[in-house]
Amino acid sequence: MERYAWKAVIKPGMTEEYIRRHEEIWPEMKDVLRRAGIYNYSIWLSGNEVFGYYECLHGAEFAAKVQASSPIVDKWNEYMKDVMVMEMDPETGAQPLMKQVFYFT
């Protein structure tokens, strides 16, 4: 199991819409996340910034590959681009991996 974190910025005035879209996340998107081995997924809001965290059953690289090859993820990213700005790694097509600097168990 690997932990993965990402961050993004919600566009001005779009916070409620961002929340609404996640409250109504598509079942097909949930299926892709499950196939990718993603679980314990949460997104946190601070002002107009969001921070996402999830755990990868088969590792972050596997999760990224499954998501990168999914037309559902492409459709979701297109659907979300009017409400948020997210940096993407040109090599992986996913959010850049954040460096973990502390972990407490």
Active-site residue flag, 22: yes
What's the 3-state SS for 35-82? HCCEEEEEEEEECCEEEEEEEECCCHHHHHHHHHCCHHHHHHHHHHCC
- Which of 22, 34, 75, 81 is an active site residue? 22
* Collapsed DSSP state (helix, strand, coil) of residue 83: coil
User: Helices H, strands E: what count in the chain?
Assistant: 4, 4
- The answer to whether 86 touches 78, Cβ cutoff 8 Å, is no
Which residues are identified as catalytic? Answer: 22
